[in-house]
Amino acid sequence: MFVLVTLRKIVGRCKRDAVADLAERRGAMTALIYVDPVSVRPVVDGVWHLTWLSAVPTPGEEVRMLCGEAAEAAFVPLRERTAQGALTQCPYCDLEYRRSHGYEILPNHPGLRPRVRQGRSW
């Protein structure tokens, strides 16, 4: 299982001085790509999830979703995500998000149903 995050490129946690030193050594400028952890939406098995990230995870680092599922982070080009077709939203992540923000949860919300996935239930 892996986390598919639709980002073209990611620059790890590096300090501004280290980036400037690298640019000087290479004689070229460095393009920094800033990623807002709030906007990251991990995708596991064609289902996009919600998570509270304090920083962008490094490849291979475990990411825990609001629903409790965990997977390793991986970064791939957006074209690989779009080639898989439309994604579905995890109803259990949505339920936890709604609870944490005090939003109304209707009695027929799909996240209130027991979870069954690949022959197992949670």
State residue 1's pLDDT score. 31
Distance CA(115)–CA(65), nearest Å, equals 15
Per the structure, the complete domain to which residue 11 belongs is given by 2-121
Burial label, 89 (beta-carbon count in 10 A; 0-12, 13-18, 19+): middle
Q: Which residue in 37, 46, 49, 57 sits closest to 82, CA to CA?
A: 46
Count of CB atoms within 10 A of residue 57's CB?
21
Distance CA(47)–CA(59), nearest Å, equals 19
Mean pLDDT over 51-69 rounds to 94
Mean pLDDT, the chain, rounded, equals: 79
Is pTM beyond 0.75 here? Answer: no
What is the tally of structural domains in the chain? 1
